[in-house]
Copies of this chain bind each other. A is one copy, B any other.
Amino acid sequence: MRHFTCVQDIGDIRSALEKAKYVKENPYADQHLGKNKTLMLIFFNSSLRTRLSTQKAGMNLGMNVIVLDINQGAWKLETERGVVMDGDKPEHILEAIPVMGSYCDIIGVRSFAQFENKEYDYNEVILNQFIQYSGKPVFSMEAATRHPLQSFADLITIEEYKKKERPKVVLTWAPHPRALPQAVPNSFAEWMNATDYEFVITHPEGYELDAQFTGKATVEYDQKKAFKDADFIYAKNWAAYQDPNYGKILNSDRSWTVDTQKMALTNNAYFMHCLPVRRNMIVTDEVIESPQSIVIPEAANRVVSAQTVLKEILLELQ
């Protein structure tokens, strides 16, 4: 693997799951791969789980890890040519990124959608600049449109808990007080579509995601119908994607909150969420504290997904 930004980069999904299983069972077996290799983690946005789990994954592989927090406001890079740089941007991207690349072997980048310009967000401008100019393998620690390390961890978790070969997995929208990017649901849909699961997405009208991610998924506007016989409920809020409402909150209807009554419609489904989660907005206390809630093992698998991806990149570097 050279870069890792989406499900296609992981290659065959069965094979990837086998690799993840090996990594989970043998977390310290590949330290020769990471010896004297430097992992640089660049955060344009704040992070708890991703920062800790990716750092742990790198250390498990014997790598040196450098974490760089780039305050979104403080590091303004010029991207145009011909500009007289006498303003607030002290450096051009054509210098900044190759220099960072020269000090490490692999680069992780976190850069969220900003909801100011849909085209800018969906072109993944910042992530692609690192791919184009750093000269090093780049992986996404959540970009504007996808969060593939989360989705891979989600898939690993479903495989661990599923009781039938082809479980029914339901991605449900749920309310949230702030406007959130579509990276997690986009990416989750993309990864589910790479499996042979039955995959259903449910959300209020107006919250349709980009079809390039949802693909063959069934969209069901009636949440209760969607939940019927589900084996896994994956809850997440996102702001509208469709024009002219890109980045807007259209609905804060708490009737979409995942509660015990709705879970009773499922096939004793497991409850999942990428965290952090707003209780009693996304999900009730009862559901998230129930034995069917697997949000903590799901978060723990973030180390496994990151380590599997890093290992594949390291193998390519040998």
**Which residues of chain A (28-70) have a CB below 8 Å from chain B?**
28, 36, 38, 40, 48-49, 52-53, 55-56, 59-60, 64, 66, 68
Q: Which of B53, B95, B100 contacts A103 (CB 8 A)?
A: B53
B52–A68 contact, CB under 8 A?
yes
Q: Which of B48, B82, B91, B280 contacts A276 (CB 8 A)?
A: B91
Which B-chain residue is minimally distant from A90 (CB atoms)? B276
Among A142-150, A195-203, A212-220, A296-304, the stretch that binds chain B is A296-304
What residues of B have a CB within 8 angstroms of the CB of A102 in the complex?
296, 299-300, 303
- Asked whether any CB of chain B lies closer than 8 Å to the CB of A279, the reply is yes
- Asked whether any CB of chain B lies closer than 8 Å to the CB of A73, the reply is no
A48 to B100, CA, bound (A): 8
A275–B91 contact, CB under 8 A?
yes
What residues of B have a CB within 8 angstroms of the CB of A52 in the complex?
40, 66, 68, 100, 103-104
**Which residues of chain A (70-115) have a CB below 8 Å from chain B?**
78, 81-87, 90-92, 94-96, 98-100, 102-104
10 of the cross-chain contacts (CB-CB < 8 Å) are A36-B60, A38-B56, A38-B59, A52-B68, A78-B279, A85-B279, A94-B288, A95-B276, A96-B276, A99-B299
| Residue of A78, A102, A281, A300 ringed by the most chain B CB atoms within 10 A | A102
- Asked whether any CB of chain B lies closer than 8 Å to the CB of A244, the reply is no
CB distance from A89 to the nearest CB of B (A): 9
Which B-chain residue is minimally distant from A298 (CB atoms)? B99
A281–B86 contact, CB under 8 A?
yes
B36–A83 contact, CB under 8 A?
no
Q: Which of B64, B82, B275, B285 contacts A280 (CB 8 A)?
A: B82
14 additional A-B residue pairs with CB within 8 Å, beyond A87-B177, A94-B288, A95-B277:
A38-B56, A52-B68, A56-B103, A82-B280, A82-B285, A83-B280, A85-B279, A86-B278, A95-B288, A95-B296, A99-B299, A102-B296, A102-B300, A103-B303
A interface residue count range (under 10 / 10 to 19 / 20 to 34 / 35 or more): 35 or more
CB distance from A237 to the nearest CB of B (A): 11
Which B-chain residue is minimally distant from A59 (CB atoms)? B64
- Asked whether any CB of chain B lies closer than 8 Å to the CB of A138, the reply is no
A85–B280 contact, CB under 8 A?
yes
What residues of B have a CB within 8 angstroms of the CB of A82 in the complex?
280, 285
- Asked whether any CB of chain B lies closer than 8 Å to the CB of A289, the reply is yes
- Asked whether any CB of chain B lies closer than 8 Å to the CB of A126, the reply is no
What residues of B have a CB within 8 angstroms of the CB of A300 in the complex?
99, 102-103
- Asked whether any CB of chain B lies closer than 8 Å to the CB of A295, the reply is yes
A100 to B278, CA, bound (A): 18
What residues of B have a CB within 8 angstroms of the CB of A78 in the complex?
279
CB distance from A83 to the nearest CB of B (A): 6
A99 to B288, CA, bound (A): 14
What residues of B have a CB within 8 angstroms of the CB of A96 in the complex?
48, 276
A66–B60 contact, CB under 8 A?
no
What residues of B have a CB within 8 angstroms of the CB of A28 in the complex?
36
